[in-house]
Amino acid sequence: MCGIVGYIGNSDATPALLSGLARLEYRGYDSAGISILSGGKIATTKRAGKLGVLVEALKKKPLPAGKVGIGHTRWATHGSPVDRNAHPHIDPEEKVAIIHNGIIENYQVLKEELERLGHYFSSDTDSEVVAHLLGIEYGKSADLTDAMERVCQRLHGNFSLVAIAIDSPGVLIGARRNSPLVVGLGQGENFLASDVSAFISFTKRALEIGQNQVVTLTADSCSISDFNGVTQSPREFQVTWDASAAEKNGFPHFMAKEIMEQPKAVADCLLGRMDENGHLTLNEVRLSDDEIRDIDKVIIIGCGSAYHAGMIAKYGIEHWSRLPVEVELASEFRYRDPIITRNTLVIAISQSGETMDTLMALRHAKDQRAKVISICNTYGASIPRESDGVIYTQAGPEIAVASTKAFLTQIVAAYLVGLYIAEIRGIKFIDEVRDILEELGELPEKIERYLETSERLKDLALEFKSAQSILFLGRHVGFPVALEGALKLKELAYMHAVGFAAGELKHGPIALIEEGTPVLVIMPNLNSPLHDKMVSNVQEIEARGARAIIITAENDTSITSPRAIRIPDAPTLFQPLLAVLPLQLFAYESAVVRGYDVDQPRNLAKSVTVE
């Protein structure tokens, strides 16, 4: 939540900051602002609304040119989205400007202390206290790094901060605890940002900043210390995708592009997972074979779509490894005193790798000595860094707020973990695992084949444009798919939508069915014992007036409904990767026909770095 970017170099900072903010807008989009250091002063423009509002304001009244600056795009936590709560925030003497992502938990105490010293606050945010404190500390020593270290020692909660100061025109300073911040190393210019997408069109060289660290940048140097001033050595990495991956490339929305990228994303997720002897290799797992053999339980944690991916993965991991798998919402996990031992494997699933609920659940698991593997799409993010091992999903940047290609690749990656465990524990022979991998390898072509013929979803979206409520039904692996379909429709089209396990219908939800109620049904495979039961469920709801839209395999001739949506046939465990596609498209088209912002739905943000 909140995107932050800082620039220092030999060019004017404003264009670099605006281009960074455009790439970070997915993180929050209820207000935006930038501050530039120019002529010994800090010049600031900030506006409530999307980035476009700020851009227009800057066109009418440009900021003076300056070679160091900071920019912010906000997802409100403390204080409504109005101009005065937008970042950057300035100290009362107008000597420093800061931007912040996260929550300062002790801001009330700090604010009262500052008010007793006569400070007046111009916003309702928690972040403004940082500007005031930094102004005071900077006034004492005129060393911005020292000042930032001292301020950080006083802050409770989560933060990434970037600041500039009028008497240090050649310095850009940042700090982080539990919130993301990366350095981009350019030629005669350097960057600080929430993620690499902000500077990818300038440089692919990046540095990870660790927990509780302060980073001091000039145009051509970078030094890192902890909050006590002890020098730290950062880890450099190369960004593996290029700027075009973070552009729309002719698609009307990032979500449309990301849906169409799913064949490639799944193929890329499977890349490099086999060694020359045909063994499944997950090099990044970093657990010894003995440790894997000792595992007696798996717990998967995640939020939202990542949680649904975990629910699907449970079927595969249990089936292949014969280990019991629990799936838990990360936000609930640590509050129920879960039973965790050294032999528990916790799998944390997160596209962003920064979701605070998942990070906190992961830490709880580690405190209890569990082994933790993460499944993540963002290199160097907090969750993979704090895990014993990581499987990167290799899906490329996902910019639209709604998860699509990340979701599919999370399922694939979790399946790979299940197969890996099964092979090491001797439950599956190498050739059995290879056969399953071959079937997985057929998915990109099947996904592509479905996506090429998916036009019909637009008509359905138009037909149900004004529906009061839409239900989703599934069974077995189709149940989490139903939940995912309902989540997508809620978050994008703002329609009331609920997913059910179809077997539960008769225990209550069937009362919701009335004349015309649209129900999307994920039909189990023809050879599944659940197929006929689902057919009966469809008859039950149609008899009560429901309009059932049945997502079913192309070879399932038993389904003759004119409302059938045909997907390529696949083994039961892989069916979710196909069945979810029409649901993604239905939510997408519904948002478009209802006139909503597909990529940036209201009240949401891509990376949820608060609990």
DSSP sequence for 482-512: HHHHHHHHHHHH--EEEEEEGGGGGGTGGGG
Q: How far apart are CA 23 and CA 243, in angstroms?
A: 10
CB of 93 to ligand F6R, least distance (A): 39
CB of 402 to ligand F6R, least distance (A): 4
Nearer CB in complex with ligand F6R: 101/352: 352
CB of 496 to ligand F6R, least distance (A): 17
Nearer CB in complex with ligand F6R: 147/182: 182
Token pair recorded at residue 78? 């403390």
Nearer CB in complex with ligand F6R: 151/487: 487
Q: How far apart are CA 535 and CA 556, in angstroms?
A: 12
CB of 313 to ligand F6R, least distance (A): 14
590: enclosing H helix or E strand: helix 576-593
Contact by Cβ (8 Å): 300, 417 = no
Q: Which residues bind ligand F6R (CB under 6 A)?
A: 303-306, 350-352, 355, 358, 402-403, 487, 491, 607-608
Q: Which of 2, 152, 269, 303 is catalytic?
A: 2
Going by C-beta distance under 8 Å and a sequence separation of 6 or more, which residues neighbour residue 198?
A: 3, 5, 20, 21, 23, 24, 184, 191
Nearer CB in complex with ligand F6R: 91/398: 398
Q: Say if residue 116 is exposed, middle or buried (CB neighbours under 10 Å; 0-12, 13-18, 19+).
A: exposed
Place of tokens 């902000």: 198
Nearer CB in complex with ligand F6R: 134/608: 608
**Residue 152 is a catalytic residue:** no
> Cis peptide before 338, with omega less than 30 degrees from 0?
no
Q: What phi and psi, each to the nearest 5 degrees, are found at residue 327?
A: -125, 130
Of the candidates 9, 381, 83, the residue with the CA atom closest to the CA atom of residue 211:
381
User: 19-35: buried (b, 16+ CB within 10 Å) or exposed (e) per residue?
Assistant: bbbbbbbbbbbbbbbbb
Q: Is 514 helix (H, G, I), strand (E, B) or coil?
A: coil
Using Cβ positions, the residue closest to ligand F6R within the complex turns out to be 304
Q: How far apart are CA 356 and CA 154, in angstroms?
A: 21
547 beta partners: 518
Nearer CB in complex with ligand F6R: 353/518: 353
Nearer CB in complex with ligand F6R: 358/552: 358
Tell me, letter by letter, the H, E, C secondary structure of 320-343: HHCCCEEEEEHHHHCCCCCCCCCC
Q: Say if residue 335 is exposed, middle or buried (CB neighbours under 10 Å; 0-12, 13-18, 19+).
A: exposed
**Residue 376 is a catalytic residue:** no
Biggest alpha carbon–alpha carbon distance for the chain: 79
CB of 309 to ligand F6R, least distance (A): 8
End-to-end CA distance of the chain: 11
Nearer CB in complex with ligand F6R: 129/301: 301
DSSP sequence for 263-320: HHHHHHHHTT-B-TTS-B--GGG---HHHHHH--EEEEEE-HHHHHHHHHHHHHHHHH
| Residue type, position 100, single letter | H
Tell me, letter by letter, the H, E, C secondary structure of 164-220: EECCCCCCEEEEEEECCCEEEECCCCEEEECCHHHCCCCCCEEEECCCCEEEEECCC
CB of 415 to ligand F6R, least distance (A): 17
Separation of CA 456 from chain center:
29
Of the candidates 211, 195, 423, the residue with the CA atom closest to the CA atom of residue 320:
423
Nearer CB in complex with ligand F6R: 145/350: 350
CB of 25 to ligand F6R, least distance (A): 16
Of the candidates 54, 44, 49, the residue with the CA atom closest to the CA atom of residue 20:
54
Q: Which of 204, 314, 405, 606 is catalytic?
A: 606
Nearer CB in complex with ligand F6R: 45/584: 584
Nearer CB in complex with ligand F6R: 88/180: 180
Strands 157-165 and 172-177: antiparallel
Token pair recorded at residue 100? 């912040």
Q: Say if residue 506 is exposed, middle or buried (CB neighbours under 10 Å; 0-12, 13-18, 19+).
A: exposed
By residue count, the chain amounts to 611
Q: Which residues are catalytic?
A: 2, 606
